[in-house]
Structure 1
Amino acid sequence: MTLNRPDVFGSISLMFWSIVIVVCIKYLGFITRADNDGEGGILALAHLTRSSLREGSRRYALVMILGVIGASLFYGDSLLTPSISVLSAVEGIEVAIPSLSHVVLELGVLIIVGLFVVQRHGTEKVGKSFGPIMIVWFVTLAAMGLTHIAEDPSILAALSPHYGMLFIAEHPFIAFVASGAIVLVITGTEALYADMGHLGRPAIATAWFGLVFPALTLNYLGQGAMILNHPETVSNPFFKMAPDWGQIPLVLLSTMATVIASQAVISGVYSVSRQAERLGYLPRLTVRQTSAHTGGQIYVPAVNWLVFAGVLALMLTFGESSRLATAYGVAVTATFILTTVLFCVYASSALGWKPWQVLLAGGLFGVIELAFFAANVTKVFHGGWLPILVALLLSTVMLTWQRGVVLVTARRTKLEGPLTEYLSSDAVVNVKRIPGSAVFLHPSKQTVPLALRENVHFNQVLHNNVVIVTTRSLNVPHVDDSERVTIDHLASEYDRITHVQLDYGFSDHQDVPAGLKVAAERHGVELDIENATYFISRITLRISDRPGMARWRKGIVRGLAQNAARPSDYFHLPIDRTVLMGAEVNF
């Protein structure tokens, strides 16, 4: 196809209106308003949607499966985005300084290593250093675009949607194939939604409409004007927008910008991982709060290094951004579709939308996203299988863990038995009491901590003061000590066996000894804090022939359980006074 004005106008029109419909209208207009206690992402949307449906219905179970699949696809995208973004930016050296083209991969690897190493400092600190760079980046994009728009102001007409429709009508096959590339202008949108907990919707919307969207639009228009007036620049229009003296600074700036774009995806992965943990699709993770004011700003070490390993492997395997590009787009577009489906169900069941409203929104977004997905499906056999494989593996792991938790909990509950009934039994009433204080950590006050049951059964003793502790996380930054503790004397007020519930905010460290000190000083709980012994029920899972799950899936559950975060570290227990009481659960 010969390069001509209608075709350039049509391509820019498709890019512009794709951003308007998918990013501005769908995500910022509707999707980001569906948050789960401030958290975004497809799992948050699935949880909200499920909460509005009748428990036990087909849709009730299906929405969470769709959410898990969408989250798994997002994980696949999180491996590709840093890889292709950093490599494509560093490859600008080949334009500015061709003699350095042989070090592109090495530079990209060094940048990725640095990016993942600084994650432990948290989004807030990283963001403070990245923020000014991004402002310079988008101002530069706008300035470059305006320079070339000034040469040919007629390019502004490309914002009209009719040019895009004419391009599709006159070149349907070329438009279809081009959709596989046009989708790249909206690929970071799901990360924008997943990052809501880190940044908040108002900040995202303000930055997008006040700076990012105008700058991108001006730059795309400027590229179009330059290509029309200088057709020889079509091979690499972005870097050739800058004058010769500005190409090296532009390479450096674009590299920093793509690193920051990768940061957004990584932060989104942290949020999705914590949501998966809270919803029961992943085991307990070590999560470090990195902001005293924003609950969504977290760092998850295990996830950080797993993603790092995946990104590094991709970069070393593919070597070039052009080869990675063949794997890009499938996961993103599939996630778009799943998000649209879930939102339509949510709008119908929770927001009270009428059927025609649901059909209108679903039809508008769905047709566009299905077209993008169909164009990217052609890449499956050329690398697109990679994110699909990652999503398949992660979906299997997450759904297996969720099912395994149900089976193990049922077996554990049966072994533990009702707490109040046990405390009233002869086994406890007549047991020998020994000096000291014992603290048993347990998820609830409904059943007996296995460590407590094992201690009584094998040692035939019980400490004079026994405290059963349950911790609860609330969606507030901090819980004051005056509101932290809830006391229940359980079977008797005089048996010195007490249940203590400790409430924590998302910025509070779940320091159980400190919480028990508050319980003793302000609520009169009989407890020797300085010498108390902490008991943790350590469950060893044994794979059996019991029905409910295939043996290979049970193996996954056992492996994940063995690698979950250690309770002693998570709850800040003194290691020299912490006792693990083992028990086996066959499932």
Structure 2
Amino acid sequence: MTTQSATSHYFVESPSTRALVLGAIGVVFGDIGTSPLYALKECFSQEHGIPFSPDAVLGVISMLFWAMIIVVSLKYVVFVMRADNNGEGGVLALMALVLRTAAPRSRKARLLMMLAIFGACMFYGDAVITPAISVLSAVEGLEVAAPQLSHFVIPITLIILIALFLIQRHGTAAVGKLFGPIMIVWFVTLGLLGIYNVMQSPEIFKAINPWYGVNFLIEHSLQAFIVLGAVFLVLTGAEALYIDMGHFGARPIRIGWFILVMPSLMLNYFGQGAMLLLHPEAASNPFYLMVPGPLLLPMVLLATCATVIASQAVISGAFSLTSQAIQLGFVPRMRIRYTSAAEMGQIYLPVINWILLVLVVAVVISFKKSENLAAAYGIAVTTTMLITTFLAGFVMRSVWKWNPVFVTLLSAGFLLVDLTFFSANLLKVAEGGWFPLLMGSAAFFLLMTWYSGRKLLRARSLEDGIPLEPFIAGLLAHPPHRVEGTAVFLTGNTESVPVSLLHNLKHNRVLHERVVFLSFVTRDIPYVDDDHRLTCKDLGGGVFILKSEYGFKETPDVQRVLDLAQRKLNMEFELMETSFFIARESVIPSKLPGMSMWRESLFAWMHQNGAKPSDFFSIPANRVVELGTKVEI
């Protein structure tokens, strides 16, 4: 087979693959696809003090080009996307993959876990800044198209963002069908604008030579290093390629990137550079000033649609990330609503939605302009990228068993690039970079407080617990009065007697004719097949231990478990004859060894305000019996 025919064969795709590519273009590339709106403008910001010259333009475009080649195409698309956890990507999926090779409860495992969690927390900073900077930069096109409307930029931005968050509860299934076609129009438009401007100054293609970028760094030294923080803005959506891999698969994302997205973005950046060679004064807003006058207002409208789509993708990502963190035990239970009967990944978390809305509105009002937000943007994404690179290198060495010399050289190269961008963005901490650092650190502190508090709570319960199987054997030898029906006791530990059972025996002095101890176990994989979901142990006398395994991207559902038990295990459950017993624990901070008192008080508050187990596990409210108990930690 010739090279040409092999290439043609590679890109001839089935209808299903084409649909996945279309979906990926609509969702995955929204963030990185809207970077042309503000990236080059920030590179030539007057605050950087770079003397404007043709060599400076060629140097910046060269750095943009090679940054995208090395970080996005090579690091993420070729290497990092290989590190999938049963098809899923993202820092939490990567963490679960890495922890399989580390000894449980070891110092190494804890450090790797904390590193991954901090990277996930920095994503929340991204989820706040992306909608703000993207929509704001799109609407700022009015300052070019209709300067008399410039004072409406912030109000219009706020209206669009508020509307975006208000519609989240309705789901994105209907709107999602439009995402792919709109983003294809967006990327094709980017490419055509680039070609139009490049034709007027084709010498911009000299920037493909990396020497122009190197020479720019040497000539301008510290100023050029600061500009690297702005150059990084072209990479801000790269992590989304990895995070959203589970929705579309690696192959459709790679095809979409190499066939449409990367060429369009490259052409547009080169087009902006070509225009700057001819019109240096256009540096104030190179994206909109490269658009022919009659097309300016339509371009503002198209850019606004593209930025709304990019914002939707990152908001949905925040919902998914929080859901995963809940299952992995880092976030209190929250009410989760599924907005699509067909797509498990389409979920809505009201608490996260309203927190994001308040923060996004506050950011827009505080920072006012997209260039002010640019300083805050880079630090959030570079931190997550740096952590992803480190964990991916660990996977290459410990999981895949690749040659250690190759892994060391490859990881060192990627880490060098990441650290360079990270260092450049650290220089902007005072200008706004403090915001995502503060937000990520606060989220990290809350997540680790919850995780540590749950460990303490479990330890106290085990200390005071009664071994389950001997207790049941003794109870059945001298049983209390047996009543009709089924009692399901939800428990996190099947080794000890649930407090809810002890309270029921103490107060009601009865035992149902069938007793089921139901425990949910979260695995380190994203999804568990129904054929492997349930295990059942018969303790005799109508008493059973039923364990249901779930992946970290799934939400436990009691009704679904009972239906599955009926099909797979022939256990009949009549809902109106089944009662669900849940222990409602009240956490009491104490001076026992553990966390500091104020952190224990914070954990107690989080525990008290978490979603009720009956709501989280989708148990019919009229079948739930909650029994309270106090636990000192």
One-letter identity of the residue aligned with 1:545: K
Q: Secondary structure at the match of 2:376?
A: coil
Answering whether residue 199 of structure 2 is matched by residue 150 of structure 1, we say yes
One-letter identity of the residue aligned with 2:587: L
Counterpart residue number, 2:101? 52
Tell me how far 1:399 sits from its aligned partner: 1.1
Counterpart residue number, 1:401? 450
Counterpart residue number, 1:551? 597
Counterpart residue number, 2:122? 73
Q: Secondary structure at the match of 1:436?
A: strand
Counterpart residue number, 2:26? none
Superposed, which structure 2 residues align to 1:111-510 within 5 Å?
111-122=160-171, 124-290=173-339, 295-426=344-475, 429-471=478-520, 486-490=535-539, 492=540, 495-502=541-548, 510=556
Q: Residues 30 and 300 (structure 1 numbering): CA distance in 2 closer, same or farther, change over 3 Å?
A: farther
Tell me how far 1:105 sits from its aligned partner: 1.0
Counterpart residue number, 1:84? 133
Within 1, Cα distance between the matches of 2:286 and 2:66?
A: 21
Superposed, which structure 2 residues align to 1:560-579 within 5 Å?
560-579=606-625
Whether the aligned pair in 1 keeps the contact of 2:122 and 2:437 (CA below 8 Å) is yes
**Larger RCO (CA under 8 A, 6+ residues apart):** 2
1:138-164 per-residue CA deviation (whole Å, 9 max, x = no partner) reads 110000000111122222221121221
Within 1, Cα distance between the matches of 2:182 and 2:532?
A: 42
Tell me how far 1:579 sits from its aligned partner: 0.8
Counterpart residue number, 1:94? 143
Q: Secondary structure at the match of 1:166?
A: helix
Whether the aligned pair in 1 keeps the contact of 2:93 and 2:526 (CA below 8 Å) is no
Q: Secondary structure at the match of 2:256?
A: helix
Pick which of 542-551 and 267-276 moved more: 267-276
Tell me how far 1:165 sits from its aligned partner: 1.4
Q: 1:534 aligns with which of 580, 584, 593?
A: 580
Q: Residues 501 and 477 (structure 1 numbering): CA distance in 2 closer, same or farther, change over 3 Å?
A: same
Whether the aligned pair in 1 keeps the contact of 2:88 and 2:526 (CA below 8 Å) is no
Tell me how far 1:241 sits from its aligned partner: 0.9
Q: Residues 145 and 524 (structure 1 numbering): CA distance in 2 closer, same or farther, change over 3 Å?
A: closer
Pick which of 272-281 and 51-60 moved more: 51-60
Pick which of 461-470 and 371-380 moved more: 461-470
One-letter identity of the residue aligned with 1:534: F
Pick which of 522-531 and 408-417 moved more: 522-531
Within 2, Cα distance between the matches of 1:123 and 1:202?
A: 24
Tell me how far 1:292 sits from its aligned partner: 5.9
1:155-202 per-residue CA deviation (whole Å, 9 max, x = no partner) reads 222112122112222222232121121111111222332222333322
Q: Secondary structure at the match of 2:592?
A: coil
Q: Residues 487 and 142 (structure 1 numbering): CA distance in 2 closer, same or farther, change over 3 Å?
A: same
Whether the aligned pair in 1 keeps the contact of 2:328 and 2:522 (CA below 8 Å) is no
1:497-546 per-residue CA deviation (whole Å, 9 max, x = no partner) reads 22334567899885534643564587554755323222111111111111
Whether the aligned pair in 2 keeps the contact of 1:517 and 1:529 (CA below 8 Å) is no
One-letter identity of the residue aligned with 1:332: V
Root mean square deviation of aligned Cα = 2.6
1:245-288 per-residue CA deviation (whole Å, 9 max, x = no partner) reads 11111111111111112222222222322232232211223334
Counterpart residue number, 1:583? 629
Whether the aligned pair in 1 keeps the contact of 2:320 and 2:553 (CA below 8 Å) is no
Pick which of 190-199 and 329-338 moved more: 190-199
Within 1, Cα distance between the matches of 2:573 and 2:81?
A: 47
Within 2, Cα distance between the matches of 1:308 and 1:540?
A: 31
Whether the aligned pair in 1 keeps the contact of 2:230 and 2:374 (CA below 8 Å) is no
Within 2, Cα distance between the matches of 1:25 and 1:89?
A: 29
Task: Structure 1: give runs of 5+ residues left out of the alignment.
Answer: none
**What percent identity do the matched residue pairs reach?**
44
Q: Residues 122 and 196 (structure 1 numbering): CA distance in 2 closer, same or farther, change over 3 Å?
A: farther
One-letter identity of the residue aligned with 2:599: R
Whether the aligned pair in 2 keeps the contact of 1:10 and 1:165 (CA below 8 Å) is yes
Whether the aligned pair in 2 keeps the contact of 1:27 and 1:189 (CA below 8 Å) is yes
Q: Residues 553 and 365 (structure 1 numbering): CA distance in 2 closer, same or farther, change over 3 Å?
A: same
Q: Residues 314 and 534 (structure 1 numbering): CA distance in 2 closer, same or farther, change over 3 Å?
A: same
One-letter identity of the residue aligned with 1:552: W
Within 2, Cα distance between the matches of 1:175 and 1:523?
A: 66
Within 2, Cα distance between the matches of 1:388 and 1:509?
A: 30
Tell me how far 1:329 sits from its aligned partner: 1.3
Within 1, Cα distance between the matches of 2:501 and 2:457?
A: 19
Task: Structure 2: give runs of 5+ residues left out of the alignment.
Answer: 1-49
Whether the aligned pair in 1 keeps the contact of 2:324 and 2:553 (CA below 8 Å) is no
Pick which of 301-310 and 80-89 moved more: 301-310
Within 2, Cα distance between the matches of 1:295 and 1:527?
A: 25
Whether the aligned pair in 2 keeps the contact of 1:422 and 1:428 (CA below 8 Å) is no
Tell me how far 1:375 sits from its aligned partner: 1.6
Within 2, Cα distance between the matches of 1:123 and 1:364?
A: 39
Tell me how far 1:121 sits from its aligned partner: 4.3
Q: Residues 410 and 13 (structure 1 numbering): CA distance in 2 closer, same or farther, change over 3 Å?
A: same
Within 2, Cα distance between the matches of 1:177 and 1:322?
A: 14
Within 1, Cα distance between the matches of 2:534 and 2:390?
A: 42
Whether the aligned pair in 2 keeps the contact of 1:123 and 1:267 (CA below 8 Å) is no
1:335-363 per-residue CA deviation (whole Å, 9 max, x = no partner) reads 22222222222222112233322332222
Whether the aligned pair in 2 keeps the contact of 1:192 and 1:264 (CA below 8 Å) is no
Q: Secondary structure at the match of 1:424?
A: helix
Whether the aligned pair in 2 keeps the contact of 1:179 and 1:372 (CA below 8 Å) is yes
